[in-house]
Amino acid sequence: MRPYLDKRKCPAVKALCKAIEVCSRGAVAYVEDDAEPLGGRIAFDHERCDGCGLCSTACCGNAVEMR
């Protein structure tokens, strides 16, 4: 299983992101992206991810689905 983000539920604020905080594998990151309304998005590196699901449990907006 790997995490997938529902961007509609995610404020994409690095300082608030619990998913970045809890991932011990450094597989969650904030990426600047001018195409996004707030100038950035939360991104998952599925290669680094071990599927632990902690980011999904900790997500502040219930926006991370494991599948």
Closest approach of ligand SF4 to the CB of residue 41, in Å: 9
Residue 42's CB is within 10 A of a number of other CB atoms, namely: 24
Candidate residues 4, 43, 53, 65; the one interacting with ligand SF4 per rule CB under 6 A? 53
Does 64 bind ligand SF4 (CB under 6 A)? Our answer is: yes
- Encoding tokens for residue 56? 């999904």
Burial of 62 (0-12, 13-18, 19+ CB in 10 A): exposed
List residues binding ligand SF4 (CB under 6 A): 3, 5, 9-13, 16-19, 22-23, 25, 27-28, 42, 44, 49-55, 59-61, 63-64
